Amino acid sequence: MGARFAMTGGREGWIRTLLTAFGVGLGVTLLFVATSVPHVLSAREDRTQARDPWIASSTGLERGATTLLFRQSSTAYHGKDISGLIIRPEGADAATPPGVRKFPGPGELVVSPALKRLLDSGDGTLLRQRFAAYRVVGTIADQGLQGPSELMFYTGAKSGELVDQHNANRTKGWGPAAASLDHAPMNQTKPSPELILLATIGCVVLLLPVAVFIATAVRFGGERRDRRLAALRLVGADRAMTHRIAAGEALFGALLGLAFGTAFFLALRAFIEEFTLWNYSVFSSDLTPSAPLALLVLLAVPAAAVVVTLFALRGVTIEALGVVRQARPRRRRLWWRLALPLLGLALLYQMMTGYTAAGPRDTYQVAIGAVLVLAGTTALLPWVVEAVVARLRGGPLPWQLATRRLQLSSGAAARAVSGITVAVAGAIALQMLFSNVQAQHTSDTGQDPTRAQFVTQSTVRDGKGAKKAVARFQRTPGVREVFATVEATIRQSHDDPYDTPPVQMHIADCAMLREFLRLPHCADGDVYVSQRPEYLTKDQWAPTTPGSEVVITGQEAEDRFSARRGQGTNGSKDLVRAGKRWTVPRSTTVVHTRPDPVGMDREGIYVTPGALGMTGFGATNVQVIVSLDKSAEDAIERVRNTDAEVSGGVGNGYSVVATEETRKFRSIRNGLFIGAFATLLVIGASMIVSTLEQLRERRRLLSVLVAFGTRRSTISLSVLWQTAIPVVLGLAVSMVGGLTLGAVLLKMIEAPVAVDWAGLGIMGGIGAGVIALVTLASLPPLWRMTRPDGLRHE
């Protein structure tokens, strides 16, 4: 009978049912998305591992029919990372990367669909210049990508690239299937306890407001429903029957909400690949709810609708002549509202001696404790609202209309803001924990972005090649200053190269030397040496002694020597014979180092070009540090294009940054941001729907007020105050609950308790924004409801 009332109640009944179904549907959609997260993460991780090359970790891997050489190659464009690999198969049976049908040849590219779209778009003009030396011959299939918006490529090695293991890695294949006892995967670490705690609290904070919203949505139209039940009492229904009828009506709305939520979820799933948030995207096939969790949602939402309805009716006396709730209600009980957060704090207190995330039990205990604290904070809000508004007196007319309405029935207003209360309380606690975890997983790189913004390194054949490379950077639009140094190695000429550690040589002009040395004076032809490091003996530092005869070798020769040593051969005589002999001048000056823009203290010997010919020691590296004109548009992208031109690939450089975050922390942070964005949308929609439902319930009263001469502006301001008062009180309650929960969580990981006052200010701003949004959204229907035809009644 209750379900029939929901279906056949005329226009009013259908509006009420649709409001309930829409509200429940939004919550169900978010719950289905949440139940899909395990599959999204596992599928993404599986694809990532399947495409990772497995490299030898304990012994050298010999060339064979199934081996291939690879080297990582990456760049960036307009703040987006572009990852790639340079690959060269060494045998006919070498396996192609996942998602790639055949190996790209020299100068060929296989790109992800998103990278191809970017290259073909008008926004990719500068990026096309960077890949001008390559020809796109195919795209990477979904199984080889983390997500549809990932920018990735594979390129075939050009002539002279990846010749042997001195400048590349060798692998048998891709993913766990290629692993053996002497192989190890790249980047496989277990998350730290604080990251697990952050993820656990994040899930609680994001999902609990959804549950609160669903519980609120099934109570839409409660006052009119109770008046209908009074009419049923008049024709013979007893109290238990009216409760079952009300439960049936709520159950029908919840079931319709499940249908709405399923439809919303399927629509979202169909278009999910078109959206990218914080460089994170999801394949439609990945957004698949876990079967047990989806079944739990399908059973829990209708059950919650029935339980919430019966719980709401326990304090309402419905008789044949009306609803007693319109008389002065009894005061709300406080004891059980305080018991919930105290019980939650007790569960968390047991773990304050040191949270280790040892197993699922710890995670469940933390989650249950946080849920109880946040749920108790929400349960306190109706009591606080009732206690505060009961003491409000006087004031302007809109204020009196708002406070009187809240005094008569504050429950609906408190329920409307309960979602934002629990969300803000959780957000405050999460922000306190987040700030501490961020500090632990954010490291100082030592780099100074104020001195330079880009660093790169390329191989040059001789000094002329270095000068050409530097000149090319200097001609790049947007470049303010270029510093360059040629790197070489000096060894004692009479020793085996492996007997004495090599000493680094830096060849640069005076401008560059001043970037990493404290020089009293400098002129072309000068030679300097840094003070000997504490961990080296005088004999080990001997090559820098003035008057010593040394051998200068290039970086390429050093790399080949190291690779041959790893393969069981020496080649030391060839290394010495190929180098350039040089005598360290007796005028060499001892100086102190200073960190360069990259944050490095460069120990070794420093030579200006006039003191040493730039030829004779073979191919070596030139490092270029670039300072940019920040006012020049796309200066960083133009420098990256120059880097690609000089290096002969897509570039070797990177941007100078002061700090960097761990990959796992960055993934959790992005996931929390995406979840918070979705939750805020649901909370905003819930408050708008709740306000519209309350206005619809009071349409006749509002029309009477207008008919008696009340200004619409007065009524609009009263609606504003009716929203603002509960929200402000909710924010106050949520701040107390959030700060308490945050302090306990910080104690669990033995971190100092610190309050992010800026974060609290942001939460207050969010509350003010919600008030303004809800008020603006309610004005058009408010004006429409206050027309004279609102007085009509049957």
Q: What is the dihedral of CA 700, 706, 711, 716, to 10 degrees?
A: 10
Alpha helices in 125-192 (DSSP H): 125-130
| 740 and 770 in a common domain | yes
Q: What is the mean pLDDT of the chain?
A: 80
Q: Which two tokens stand for residue 8?
A: 């056949």
Query: What per-residue confidence (pLDDT) applies to 565?
Result: 60
Whether 402 maps to a domain, the answer reads yes
| Phi, psi for 527 (deg, rounded to 5) | -130, 140
Q: Give the C-alpha separation, 4 to 245, whole Å.
A: 10
- The most confident of the ranges 46-50, 96-100, 391-395, 684-688 is 96-100
Of 327, 361, 391, which one is at a domain's C-terminal end? 327
| 716 and 695 in a common domain | yes
Chain-centroid distance, C-alpha 27: 23
502: DSSP letter: -
Which residues are CB-contacts of 742 (< 8 A; sequence separation ≥ 6)?
428, 429, 430, 431, 432, 433, 753, 755
Asked if 54 and 29 count as a contact pair (C-beta separation under 8 A), the reply is: no
Q: Give the C-alpha separation, 575 to 503, whole Å.
A: 15
Mean pLDDT along residues 88-110:
91
Of 661, 680, 708, which one is at a domain's C-terminal end? 661
| 626 and 503 in a common domain | yes
Q: How many helices (H) and strands (E) does the chain have?
A: 21, 23
Q: Give the C-alpha separation, 607 to 510, whole Å.
A: 9
Mean pLDDT along residues 260-286:
88
Which residues are CB-contacts of 482 (< 8 A; sequence separation ≥ 6)?
470, 473, 474, 624, 625, 626, 627
Of 623, 639, 661, which one is at a domain's C-terminal end? 661
Q: What is the dihedral of CA 536, 617, 598, 638, to 10 degrees?
A: -170
Lowest-pLDDT range, 145-149, 300-304, 688-692, 790-794?
Answer: 790-794
Q: Give the C-alpha separation, 647 to 645, whole Å.
A: 6
| 589 and 481 in a common domain | yes
| Burial of 365 from C-beta contacts in 10 A (0-12 / 13-18 / 19+) | middle
For CA atoms 664, 667, 672, 675, give the dihedral sign.
negative
Residue 383: pLDDT above 60? yes
Residue 394: pLDDT above 90? no
Higher per-residue pLDDT: 42 or 110: 110
Q: Give the C-alpha separation, 747 to 695, whole Å.
A: 45
Nearest to 626 by CA among 512, 550, 487: 512
Please state, in angstroms and as integers, the Cα–Cα distance from residue 115 to each residue in 53, 83, 753, following that order.
21, 10, 44
Residue 677: pLDDT above 70? no
DSSP secondary structure string for all residues of 525-587? T-EEEEPPPTTS-TTTTGGGSTT-EEEEE-HHHHHHHHHHHHTT---HHHHHHHSEEEE--TT
Nearest to 766 by CA among 679, 695, 666: 679
Query: What per-residue confidence (pLDDT) applies to 725?
Result: 87
Mean pLDDT along residues 137-153:
94
106: DSSP letter: B
Whether 612 maps to a domain, the answer reads yes
Q: Give the C-alpha separation, 253 to 215, whole Å.
A: 12
With pLDDT > 90 as the criterion, what percentage of the chain qualifies? 17
Query: What per-residue confidence (pLDDT) applies to 150?
Result: 93
Q: Which two tokens stand for residue 605?
A: 């010997």
Whether 448 maps to a domain, the answer reads no
Number of domains in the chain: 4
Residue 778: pLDDT above 60? yes
Mean pLDDT along residues 201-230:
72
| 224 and 304 in a common domain | yes
DSSP secondary structure string for all residues of 705-757? HHHTT--HHHHHHHHHHHHHHHHHHHHHHHHHHHHHHHHHHHHHTT------H
Q: Which two tokens stand for residue 711?
A: 């200004």
Amino acid at position 794, single letter: E
Whether 394 maps to a domain, the answer reads yes
Residue 543 pLDDT grade (very low, low, confident, very high; cuts 50, 70, 90) = confident
Q: Which two tokens stand for residue 427?
A: 């957000």
Q: Give the C-alpha separation, 177 to 238, whole Å.
A: 68
* Terminal alpha carbon distance of the chain: 22
Angle between helices 411-440 and 360-389 (to 10 degrees): 140
Asked if 344 and 368 count as a contact pair (C-beta separation under 8 A), the reply is: yes
Residue 20: pLDDT above 50? yes
Q: What is the pTM of this model?
A: 0.74
Which residues are CB-contacts of 763 (< 8 A; sequence separation ≥ 6)?
424, 427, 428, 731, 734, 735
| 728 and 686 in a common domain | yes
Q: Give the C-alpha separation, 384 to 389, whole Å.
A: 9
Please state, in angstroms and as integers, the Cα–Cα distance from residue 241 to each residue in 25, 178, 221, 692, following that order.
28, 67, 19, 30
Nearest to 502 by CA among 588, 574, 596, 572: 572
Whether 9 maps to a domain, the answer reads yes
| 640 and 534 in a common domain | yes
Structural domain harbouring 275: 1-52+214-327
Query: What per-residue confidence (pLDDT) applies to 181?
Result: 36
| 460 and 434 in a common domain | no
Please state, in angstroms and as integers, the Cα–Cα distance from residue 283 to each residue in 41, 158, 258, 419, 736, following that order.
11, 33, 24, 30, 40
Whether 347 maps to a domain, the answer reads yes
Task: Return the bridge partners of 660, or none.
Answer: 443
Strand-pair category, 503-507 with 605-607: parallel
| Burial of 132 from C-beta contacts in 10 A (0-12 / 13-18 / 19+) | exposed
- How many CB atoms are located within 10 Å of the residue 130 CB? 24
Angle between helices 397-408 and 712-748 (to 10 degrees): 60
- Tell me the residue ranges of DSSP E strands in 449-508: 454-460, 479-492, 503-507
> Mind listing the pLDDT tens digit for each residue in 187-210?
455 556 766 776 777 777 777 777
Lowest-pLDDT range, 79-93, 264-278, 427-441?
Answer: 427-441
Alpha helices in 279-334 (DSSP H): 291-313
| 459 and 381 in a common domain | no
Whether 268 maps to a domain, the answer reads yes
Residue 221 pLDDT grade (very low, low, confident, very high; cuts 50, 70, 90) = low
> Mind listing the pLDDT tens digit for each residue in 611-646?
887 676 777 888 899 999 988 889 999 999 999 998
- Give Dmax (Cα) for the chain: 115
> Mind listing the pLDDT tens digit for each residue in 571-618?
566 666 667 888 889 888 888 888 888 888 888 899 998 888 767 677
Strand-pair category, 152-156 with 135-139: unpaired
Higher per-residue pLDDT: 199 or 474: 474
Higher per-residue pLDDT: 502 or 164: 502
| Burial of 292 from C-beta contacts in 10 A (0-12 / 13-18 / 19+) | exposed
Asked if 114 and 147 count as a contact pair (C-beta separation under 8 A), the reply is: no
Lowest-pLDDT range, 61-70, 91-100, 219-228, 653-662?
Answer: 219-228
Query: What per-residue confidence (pLDDT) applies to 528?
Result: 92
| 627 and 500 in a common domain | yes
Residue 326 pLDDT grade (very low, low, confident, very high; cuts 50, 70, 90) = very low
SS3 category, 396: coil
Residue 184 pLDDT grade (very low, low, confident, very high; cuts 50, 70, 90) = very low
Which residues are CB-contacts of 689 (< 8 A; sequence separation ≥ 6)?
19, 22, 23, 217, 220
| 737 and 605 in a common domain | no
Query: What per-residue confidence (pLDDT) applies to 260?
Result: 94
Amino acid at position 545, single letter: T
Q: Give the C-alpha separation, 617 to 581, whole Å.
A: 9
Task: Work out the angle at residue 441's Cα, subtended by the Cα atoms of residues 436 and 443, and round it to the nearest 5 degrees.
Answer: 110
| 759 and 788 in a common domain | yes
Residue 185: pLDDT above 50? no
Asked if 135 and 107 count as a contact pair (C-beta separation under 8 A), the reply is: yes
Q: Give the C-alpha separation, 459 to 754, whole Å.
A: 49
Q: Which two tokens stand for residue 152?
A: 């990735």
Query: What per-residue confidence (pLDDT) applies to 182?
Result: 42
Residue 2: pLDDT above 90? no
Whether 769 maps to a domain, the answer reads yes
Q: Give the C-alpha separation, 22 to 218, whole Å.
A: 10
Mean pLDDT along residues 53-67:
71
